[in-house]
Amino acid sequence: MNSCRSVVPLAVLAVACTIASAQTTAENQLATARVFSYEEMKTRTMPNGAEGRSVFSGTIATGEAVGAHESMQPSGTVPPALHNIQHSEFIVVQQGTLEFDHDGKAERASPGSIIYVPIGTMHAIKNVGDCPAKYVVIQVGGDTKK
């Protein structure tokens, strides 16, 4: 299997379907059904060469906070250190091979794989392949701004 191929993340489609029933407020990006255009997402470049694009942040009609961002780690990049989060995450691997370090173990994820990170889990995501790794992070519940 070519780990540098791209796949359409199914979890993003599921979140898009959920957005259709979102609350209505002026500041809530999930208040109405919509398309989040890739061209309108601003790229943020980190000192290590990794890139991030914020997709959305808001609250769906059932009350959960939901956020999403896309990340790209170049091959050979020093990854962020182990950290914990105050929300749960689904990480959809689009391209490359990631290593998911958590709970004293390491698991590999290739394109099409989905990583689940429960709230409070100490973890790190590292590109262990020979091409850039791209993935979408969908944050649910808790504080999705951290």
Decide if pLDDT at 19 tops 70: no
Question: Which of the two residues, 20 and 102, has the higher pLDDT score?
Answer: 102
pLDDT tens digit sequence for 97-142:
999 999 999 999 999 999 999 999 999 999 999 999 999 999 999 8
Residue 101 amino acid letter = D
Q: Which residue has the tokens 């998911």?
A: 100
Tell me, what's the pLDDT at 9?
Answer: 52
- Mean pLDDT, range 9-24, rounded to an integer: 43
Decide if pLDDT at 13 tops 50: no
Confidence of residue 6 (pLDDT cuts 50, 70, 90): low
Q: What is the CATH number of domain 10-140?
A: 2.60.120.10
Q: Quote the longest CA-to-CA distance of the chain.
A: 45
Question: In the structure encoding, which two tokens stand for residue 70, read together?
Answer: 């896309």
What is the DSSP pairing of strand 51-59 with strand 105-109? unpaired
Domain map (residue ranges) of the chain? 10-140
pLDDT tens digit sequence for 33-80:
999 999 999 999 988 889 999 999 999 999 999 999 999 999 988 877
Confidence of residue 89 (pLDDT cuts 50, 70, 90): very high
Tell me, what's the pLDDT at 17?
Answer: 42
Tell me, what's the pLDDT at 48?
Answer: 86
